[in-house]
DNA sequence: TTGAAAGCGATACCAC
DNA sequence: GTGGTATCGCTTTCAA
């Protein structure tokens, strides 16, 4: 219950407090005999160095702030899981902020900055230029994950969402579909906007008549996909190819279609985005754009370590990855 | 880039450093005029109090350590999401450790303790008595989530897993099934052991012949459920009622059964455990035991705040909740 | 109210 | 190698 500090250990071991500190520092210079005595005393007292006090002087907390929109969403839960493991291997700890899907990171960043995090990783949401400037001024590197935003001093790791939309459009076109639909994610999110733009632009470029392209509003969730598909499929001009801004919505579409008696992919082609693990499930066999999670993570870790070292070459740069089309059985081919 | 401390603010505002500190303390006693001047100076310099330095003296970090096994698993992702939001509302920050499903919390706790977390929440895994004692000695409250372990000084919030197993057995029995199977989660986990025990005991108590009860080993994942079901259903003595230690395995079972041409629930009844959001999906309509997430969270937060206040009445106590049977369409009734 | 000064628990530079 | 001491940025008496 009573706190034990390096002074207590020093007293018990009969050495100076400095020596105790040295034993717990990576490049110690302590005689083997003293070191033993100190470690023994530490063990007896249950002593643990206080990293907060250490941070105060070293100016480094080994804390990485992660702000993430909707940890519970399938894709980001996987992302967080992998990322936090890798950070742990680097000796970094994660301090986590979960914000709403529609929220910005601005609200929570001040708190994170108060904890003097060594760096910030912001996923699935963005921050204002002002806040970016504030982080920069404090010398806190910011890495944006999955937002294509060009901000002074911040690094961005992102998949090419627009290209992903085009890839799906191409797949639909090559396999001769007639009427298309897009089910949107939360409208204000950039991810949604770019996926939609790529898909729509490609269809229009190829000469598809604009009124052969339908659109429904969703919110990335299964339920919203289910509802949107139900509306689309009960109308006279029902589509035979639906692209969803996220995999969960696509699952909803598949289920809704089957509930109405349609067969996938014979009557209806469905494609999603992200390639969450469920996309492989036997019922769905969903064609989708895979986020290359491993590459994205590697890039994130690389940029992070470089910026922590003070290397700023990745600053104000967007690192864009191409999504990989995963063709499964939810899209009619030929 | 250059750090700014309360001293800088004090200098600019022409006051003492103490006064600056007071302005940023909850129960300040500063004249309105001075306060304004200080706030203005702080704004100009971009000053933010350093919570680490504060923690050093207040002996409270407002950090809550959460260690969780497999953040990416459906149930725990939801748990983490809700929990972190609630903690944020309390002004607490989350420092997160993601460990492997088969790992213990012991390995990572020392690090967490070095950060002087105010409390620890350990989910889906357990810790040794020694480590529990160490936390207690340091005065760090420990709350175990979803492990029924009686440890000195630690509080536990848990669902009654054994009872859940019995509930499913009862449901199967009441609706006249003939041959039963249990698909296990990772064998070493307590959750799996208790769910299995409840299910098996109830079946045997009711006079079911032991060789009418099959068992397959899984690992909580969809794939393992799919594989186990494929084995079970291709054998001569195939079961007509399968209970899975987790929902994802149950989804795998449903898909495997359908792939083999069986109809759910006419040919086969399937039940899971946890009631993850996907259990409601139209394809699955999974009968399962719901973890009362809201109640569990409330209890967790309550115990946490009590223990932070120094109230120790919940120490060494297991708070057991009853899981709620959710009957959907994956089990044949009558 | 306000300012001076002690201390929280470490690191790092200094002689020795 | 070792110990003494200043310092990190704050909170908290204690006088004034």
Q: At B175, which CATH number?
A: 3.40.50.2300
B53–A contact, CB cutoff 8 A:
yes
- Does A280 share its domain with A172? yes
Of A50, A88, A282, nearest to B116 by CB-CB distance is A50
**Is it the case that residue A103 has pLDDT exceeding 90?**
no
Q: Of all helices (H) and strands (E), which one includes residue A131?
A: helix A129-138
Residues B15 and B92 in one domain: no
Looking at the structure of chain B, the number of domains it has is 3
Residues A16 and A48 in one domain: yes
Helix, strand, coil fractions of chain A, as percent rounded to 5:
45, 20, 35
Region B173-181 average pLDDT: 97
Strands A287-290 and A324-326: antiparallel
Lowest mean pLDDT among A89-98, B159-168, B274-283, B311-320: B311-320
∠ CA(A219), CA(A146), CA(A189), 5° rounding? 30
- Cα torsion angle, A45, A48, A52, A54, sign: positive
Say whether B53 and A48 touch across the interface (CB within 8 A): no
Confidence band (pLDDT; 50, 70, 90) for A116? very high
Cα distances from A227 to residues A73, A218, A240, B187, B326, in angstroms, run 19, 8, 17, 40, 23
Q: Do B85 and A63 touch (CB under 8 A)?
A: no
Q: Which residues of chain A between 52 and 81 are close to nucleic strand D, CB under 7 A? A: 53, 56-57
- Choice between A197 and A3, residue whose per-residue pLDDT is larger: A197
Of A102-106, A198-202, B198-202, B239-243, the poorest mean pLDDT is in: A102-106
What is the CB neighbour count within 10 angstroms for residue B211? 8
CA distance A143 to A194: 20
DSSP letter for B85, please: H
Quick one: pLDDT at residue B257?
98
Positions in chain D where some atom is under 7 Å from a protein CB: 1-5, 7-13
Q: Answer whether residue A329 is part of any domain.
A: no
If asked whether residues A208 and A268 sit together in one domain, one would say yes
Confidence of residue B210 (pLDDT cuts 50, 70, 90): very high
Residue of A57, A77, A107, A118 best to disrupt the B interface, most CBs of B under 10 A: A77
User: Is any Cβ of chain A less than 8 angstroms from the Cβ of B85?
Assistant: yes
Specify the pTM. 0.94
Give per-residue pLDDT as tens, A30-74: 899 999 999 999 999 999 999 999 999 999 999 999 999 889 898
Does A286 share its domain with A297?
Answer: no
Q: With contacts defined as CB-CB under 8 Å, which chain B residues touch A251?
A: 281
Separation between the CA of A41 and the C1’ of D5 (whole angstroms): 24
Mean pLDDT of B34-50: 94
A211 interfacial to chain B (CB closer than 8 Å): no
Q: Tell me, yes or no, whether A201 and A287 share the same domain.
A: yes
Tokens of A19: 């020596």
For A227-274, the pLDDT digits (tens) are 999 999 999 999 999 999 999 999 999 999 999 999 999 999 999 999
Does residue A84 belong to the interface with chain B, where contact is any CB pair within 8 Å?
A: yes
Would residue B329 count as lying in a domain? no
Bridge pairing between strands A180-184 and A142-145 = unpaired
Q: Which of A46, A56, A77 sits opposite B56 (nearest CB)?
A: A56
- Is the per-residue pLDDT at A173 higher than 90? yes
Q: Are A142 and A29 in a shared domain?
A: no
Q: Which of residues 41-80 of B touch strand C (CB under 7 A)?
A: 53, 56-57, 59
Q: Is the CB of B11 under 7 A from strand D?
A: no
Residue nearest to nucleotide C7 (CA to C1'): B57
**Pair A244, A253: CB distance under 8 Å:** yes
Percent of chain A surpassing pLDDT 90: 89
B53 in any annotated domain: yes
Query: How large is the average pLDDT for residues B244-254?
Result: 98
Residues B108 and B256 in one domain: no
Instruction: Determine contact: B334 vs chain A, CB below 8 A.
Output: no
Taking 90 as the threshold, does the pLDDT of residue B2 lie above it?
no
- A54 lies in a domain? yes
Inside any domain, residue B79:
yes
Question: What confidence tier does B322 reach under pLDDT thresholds 50, 70, 90?
Answer: very high
Least confident of A98-107, A292-301, B195-204: A98-107
Does residue A274 belong to any structural domain of this protein?
yes
What is the domain range of residue B50? 6-58
Stretch B238-252: mean pLDDT? 98
Separation between the CA of B299 and the C1’ of C16 (whole angstroms): 60
Least Cα separation, residue B206 to chain A (angstroms): 36
Based on the domain organization, do A301 and A154 belong to the same domain?
yes
Of the partner residues B77, B93, B283, the one whose CB lies closest to the CB of residue A283: B283
Mean pLDDT of B235-262: 97
User: Is there a single domain that holds both residue A152 and residue A166?
Assistant: no
B75 has a pLDDT exceeding 60? yes
Q: Which residue has the higher pLDDT, B318 or B314?
A: B318
- A3: pLDDT strictly greater than 70: yes
Residue A21: CATH number of its domain: 1.10.260.40
Straight-line distance from CA A307 to C1' D4, in Å? Answer: 37
Q: Do A180 and A301 have their domain in common?
A: no
Best of B5, B45, B61, B71 to substitute, by most chain A Cβ atoms within 10 angstroms, is B71
CA dihedral B19, B21, B22, B26 (to 10 degrees): 170
Check whether A1 has a pLDDT greater than 80: no
Cβ–Cβ gap B84/A95 under 8 Å:
no
Query: Quick one: how far is CA A304 from the chain centroid?
Result: 14
User: What is the band of B1 on the pLDDT scale with cuts at 50, 70, 90?
Assistant: low
Residues 254..283 of B with a Cβ closer than 8 Å to A: which? Answer: 254-256, 258-259, 277-278, 281-283
Look at residue A257 in the predicted model and tell me its pLDDT. 98
In this structure, is residue A80 part of a structural domain? yes
* pLDDT tens digits for range B213-241: 999 999 999 999 999 999 999 999 999 99
Tokens 């090419």 correspond to what residue? A160
User: Roughly how many angstroms between the first and final C-alpha of chain B, as a whole number?
Assistant: 72
**Sheet with B93-99: strands ordered across:** A318-321, A154-159, A142-145, A119-123, A63-69, A93-99, B93-99, B63-69, B119-123, B142-145, B154-159, B318-321
Q: Are residues B266 and B191 in the same domain?
A: yes
* Any domain includes A88: yes
Q: Which of A71, A84, A95 sits opposite B77 (nearest CB)?
A: A71
- Angstrom distances, CA of residue B239 to CA of A248, B108, B200, B234, B235: 32, 42, 14, 10, 9
């Amino acid at each position: 219950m009573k706190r034990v500090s390096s002074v207590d250990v020093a007293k018990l071991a009969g050495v100076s407090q400095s020596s105790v500190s040295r034993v717990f520092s990576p490049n110690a210079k302590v005689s083997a005999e003293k070191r033993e005595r100190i470690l023994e005393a530490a063990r007896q007292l249950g002593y643990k160095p206080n990293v907060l006090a250490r941070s105060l002087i070293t100016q480094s907390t080994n804390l990485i702030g992660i702000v993430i929109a909707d940890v519970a969403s399938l894709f980001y839960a996987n992302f967080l899981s992998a990322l936090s493991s890798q950070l742990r291997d680097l000796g970094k700890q994660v301090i986590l902020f979960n914000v709403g899907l529609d929220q910005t990171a601005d609200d929570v960043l001040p708190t994170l900055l108060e904890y003097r995090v060594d760096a910030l990783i912001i996923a699935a949401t963005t921050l204002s230029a002002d806040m970016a400037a504030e982080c920069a001024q404090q010398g806190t590197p910011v890495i944006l994950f999955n937002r294509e935003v060009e901000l002074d001093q911040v690094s961005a790791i992102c998949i090419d969402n627009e290209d992903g939309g085009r890839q799906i459009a191409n797949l639909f076109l090559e396999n001769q579909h007639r009427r298309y639909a897009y089910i949107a994610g939360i409208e204000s999110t950039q991810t949604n906007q770019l996926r939609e733009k790529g898909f729509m632009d490609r269809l229009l470029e190829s000469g598809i008549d604009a009124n052969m392209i339908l659109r429904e509003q969703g919110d990335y969730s299964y339920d919203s996909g289910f509802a949107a598909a139900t509306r689309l499929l009960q109308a006279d001009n029902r589509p035979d190819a639906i692209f969803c801004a996220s995999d969960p919505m696509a699952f909803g579409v598949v289920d809704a279609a089957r509930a109405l008696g349609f067969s996938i992919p014979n009557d209806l082609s469905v494609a999603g985005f992200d390639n969450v693990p469920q996309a492989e499930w036997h019922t769905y066999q969903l064609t989708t754009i895979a986020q290359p999670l491993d590459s994205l993570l590697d890039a994130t870790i690389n940029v992070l370590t470089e910026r922590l070292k003070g290397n700023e070459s990745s600053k104000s740069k967007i690192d864009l990855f191409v999504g990989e089309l995963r063709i499964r059985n939810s899209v009619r081919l030929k």
